[in-house]
Amino acid sequence: MTTLLRVDASIRVDGSVSRALADSAEAAWQAEHPDGVVVRRDLGRHPIPSNVWPAVISAKMGLDSPSDADRADTADALALAADVVAELKNADAVLLAVPLYNFGISQHVKTWIDLLLSERDLATGPGPVQGRPIIFTLARGGGYGAGAPREGWDHATPYLERIFGDVFGMNIRKAVAELTLASVTPAMAELIPAAKVSEEEAHVSAKEHGVTVAKELLGAAAA
């Protein structure tokens, strides 16, 4: 039996493209591996308070603590950080669904990553999750690919690749949908057909990644 950690970040539930892509990847993974366990953390619906990380770092590094009015309870903060770290370390694979917000990742995703990096053997990696698969399902409201007017404005994907690929040493796969705001942005109306194609192709990729990761895990378990 293997475990898939699914982390959602969109503040939307209905209509979220990153969540829908993650649904496709998860369904494909479970179809190949019906006995697998899915552990969920929904940062969009249940964000980690931003004052948790300062309390954790203050306690772990012996720093001067924030004022009582601003800091989280130290014991509670350390317990939450331990849960977040354990979820990642105990997962055989990870599914991370992240939308692009204001050209980067949202504060609640950054807080989650900061808690992971508060663990020394993760921050100094590659360490305990090296080589494990992670699937990114990414949604971008505009176009950020090669040749697009805003090429290079996506500061979320490179950061996620740096942390999970270069620092943690995980094996990254991506399913990316672009132009997701075309249907609700009049100035982007002519891009609606391209947006539909991008989303359809992203769902295909998400499903393929889900199948591939499940088969890899099953093969490793049988070896």
CA distance 207 to 28: 5
pLDDT value for 195: 94
Q: Amino acid identity, residue 124?
A: T
Q: Amino acid identity, residue 4?
A: L
Q: Mean pLDDT for the chain?
A: 92
pLDDT value for 219: 78
Strands 37-42 and 93-99: unpaired
The percentage of residues in the chain with a pLDDT greater than 90, rounded to a whole number, is 81
pLDDT value for 65: 59
pLDDT of 75 > 70? The answer is yes
Confidence of residue 73 (pLDDT cuts 50, 70, 90): confident
pLDDT value for 101: 96
Region 42-64: what's the mean pLDDT? 89
Q: Which fold has domain 3-222?
A: Rossmann fold (3.40.50)
Confidence of residue 125 (pLDDT cuts 50, 70, 90): confident
Confidence of residue 67 (pLDDT cuts 50, 70, 90): low
Q: How far is CA 162 from CA 90, 119, 125, in A?
A: 21, 17, 12
CA distance 124 to 168: 8
Q: Is the pTM of this model over 0.75?
A: yes
Which DSSP string corresponds to 103-132?
TB--HHHHHHHHHHHTSHHHHT-S-TTTT-
CA distance 130 to 122: 9
Contacting residues for 192 by C-beta, under 8 A, at least 6 apart: 182, 183
Contact yes or no for 10/177 (Cβ under 8 A) = no
Query: What burial class does residue 1 get, using C-beta atoms within 10 Å of its C-beta: 0-12 exposed, 13-18 middle, 19+ buried?
Result: exposed
Q: Helix, strand, or coil here: 216?
A: helix
Q: Where are the domains of the chain?
A: 3-222
pLDDT value for 70: 59
Region 177-202: what's the mean pLDDT? 95
Region 138-160: what's the mean pLDDT? 94
pLDDT value for 42: 98
Kindly report the three-state secondary structure assignment for every residue of 140-192.
CCCCCCCCCCCCCCCCHHHHHHHHHHHHCCCEEEEEEECCCCHHHCHHHHHHH
Which of 12-16, 54-58, 99-103 holds the top average pLDDT?
Answer: 99-103
Region 85-110: what's the mean pLDDT? 96
Q: Tokens 């499903």 — which residue? A: 207
Confidence of residue 68 (pLDDT cuts 50, 70, 90): low
pLDDT value for 17: 97
The percentage of residues in the chain with a pLDDT greater than 70, rounded to a whole number, is 95
